[in-house]
């Protein structure tokens, strides 16, 4: 009787353990398959936030900002060779975590693949060279 009871207890314990593992795995899978409205809203908000944080603009739009124009003139003064380069791209980056906004302006040498990108702090007009990092 003792051996029979022991085998039954071990069998039931094993069956219970297998059932718990199977159910927990099934619940986890179904939770991932059916996202809640909260999760969907959060994912959409983060995608929208990223889209608003990085905005590609034309060079003429960047040059319309007088602070950017003044900063580009300072780039030309510091790096005279860039006067012969064309401004090939410009974008605005808003970092809400570090609380800064900056323009990234890319100068490309005509008929070449060489280019250099400068950042311009939107608030201060400070030039952020490739070696210098935003704090």
Torsion of CA 80, 75, 93, 132, to 10 degrees: 100
Lowest average pLDDT, out of 12-16, 36-40, 73-77, goes to 36-40
Residue 32 sits in which domain range? 2-49
Residues 41-92 have pLDDT tens digits of 555 555 454 445 666 777 777 778 787 888 888 888 888 888 888 888 777 7
133 domain residue, yes or no: no
pTM: 0.49
Query: DSSP states of 54-99 as a string?
Result: EEEE-HHHHHHSHHHHHHHHHHHHH-GGGGGSEEEEEEEEEETTTT
- 133 pLDDT more than 50: no
What residues form DSSP beta bridges with 103? 92, 120
In a domain, 18, yes or no: yes
Count of domains forming the chain: 2
* pLDDT tens digits for range 85-120: 888 877 777 766 566 678 888 888 877 778 888 888
Q: How far is CA 38 from CA 27, 47, 106, in A?
A: 18, 14, 39
Of residues 104, 77, 106, 84, the one with CA closest to residue 93: 104
Q: Is residue 59 part of a domain?
A: yes
In a domain, 135, yes or no: no
């Amino acid at each position: 009787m003792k051996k029979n009871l022991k085998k039954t207890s071990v069998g039931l314990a094993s069956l219970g353990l297998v059932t718990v593992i199977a159910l927990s795995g099934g619940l986890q899978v179904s939770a991932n398959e059916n996202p809640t409205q909260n999760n969907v809203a959060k994912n959409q908000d983060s995608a929208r936030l990223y889209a608003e944080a990085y905005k590609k603009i034309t060079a003429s739009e960047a040059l319309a900002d007088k602070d950017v124009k003044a900063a580009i003139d300072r780039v030309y003064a510091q790096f005279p060779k860039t006067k012969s380069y064309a401004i090939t791209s410009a974008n605005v980056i808003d970092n809400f975590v570090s609380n800064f906004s900056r323009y990234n302006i890319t100068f490309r040498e005509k008929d070449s693949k060489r280019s250099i990108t400068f950042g311009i702090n939107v608030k201060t007009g400070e030039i952020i060279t490739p070696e210098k990092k935003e704090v």
